[in-house]
Each structure stands twice: as structure tokens, then as C-alpha cells.
């Protein structure tokens, strides 16, 4: 009997409880300033913590295209070159309202910014600022994102 319970737990109940991680795309926006780089961070809408622009995949866009669209909407990135392959990924828990949250894996695309606009869709909802990669790594919460920023 105990074998049946263990097997039911492992084969039926645990897969139901352990939902797969949701995937988002993120733009690690930077600008080259002489010999060094600066990273563009934005604040989240709900907590005001420093993050990189990111969002859910979008119909009609590949991963880099969706990340670039998020960089426009959330940070005003008007002109940029984006690497077609992710430079890394990080995980975090995204609050979904009413105490619910989901595990998210964000694919990070390196995005060299050439122009920013002052007016963009979420300009009134967020702050944005340029930081050295080391400063940016110290400001974000997610350990794997800290590593990606520090390696820049």
C-alpha cells in the first residue's frame, strides 16, 4: 500500500503541484561610453525596485523582438541593436495579484542602445537610470541577473 501512495505522489500529485516555469524575455540595455559600458535599469511598477525591461513573449515577435518591444514600452529605447541569442537567464517569482505568484525564467538579450525617447508608453509609471555594470549588479535582487550584469 505504501508503495502505491509513494508512486501516486511522485507520478500524479507532484506534477500537478509543480507547475512549469513561465518564460519571459528581457533586454539588458547598455551603451558604450569610451572604454566602459553603462547599463540601463528601470523601476518596477509595483515595488519600485530596479530591474531590466522584460515581459511575456508576444505573438508575431521572436524572443529578441519581444525583448526590444518591452525595452521601448518600459524604458523608451527607440533605437538599438539586439543580440539574437540570449546571454543568460535568471529566475524570479512574479507576483500576479491577490497573493498569487508564478515562477518565471527570463531569457536575457544583450541590447546596445543608440537612442532613447523621453516620451514612451510607461514613462509616467517608471524611473530609468544608467549605471555601471557593477552598480547595476548591486541594485538588482536576482542572483543570476547580478552575475550577468557583473560579467558585462
20-151 is a CATH 3.30.70.1150 domain: no
Domain positions in the chain: 20-151
pTM score of the predicted model = 0.84
CA–CA separation, 72 and 54 (whole Å):
10
**pLDDT tens for residues 12-69?**
655 555 556 789 999 999 999 889 999 999 999 988 999 999 999 999 999 999 999 9
Q: Left (φ > 0), alpha (ψ -120 to 50) or beta: where does 104 sit?
A: beta
The helix/strand/coil state of 22 is strand
List the one residue out of 143, 146, 113 whose CA is nearest residue 38. 113
Amino acid at each position: 500500500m505504501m508503495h502505491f501512495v509513494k508512486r501516486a505522489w511522485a507520478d500524479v500529485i507532484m506534477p500537478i503541484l509543480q507547475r512549469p516555469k513561465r518564460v519571459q524575455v528581457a533586454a539588458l540595455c547598455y551603451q558604450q561610453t569610451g572604454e566602459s559600458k553603462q547599463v540601463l535599469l528601470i523601476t518596477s511598477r509595483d515595488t519600485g525596485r530596479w530591474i531590466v525591461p522584460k515581459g511575456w513573449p508576444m505573438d508575431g515577435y521572436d524572443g529578441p523582438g519581444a525583448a526590444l518591444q518591452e525595452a521601448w514600452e518600459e524604458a523608451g529605447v527607440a533605437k538599438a541593436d539586439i543580440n539574437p541569442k540570449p546571454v543568460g537567464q535568471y529566475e524570479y517569482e512574479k507576483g500576479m495579484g491577490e497573493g498569487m505568484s508564478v515562477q518565471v525564467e527570463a531569457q536575457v538579450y544583450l541590447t546596445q542602445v543608440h537612442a532613447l525617447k523621453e516620451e514612451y508608453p510607461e514613462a509616467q509609471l517608471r524611473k530609468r537610470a544608467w549605471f555601471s555594470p557593477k552598480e547595476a549588479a548591486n541594485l538588482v535582487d536576482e542572483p543570476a541577473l547580478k552575475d550577468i550584469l557583473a560579467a558585462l
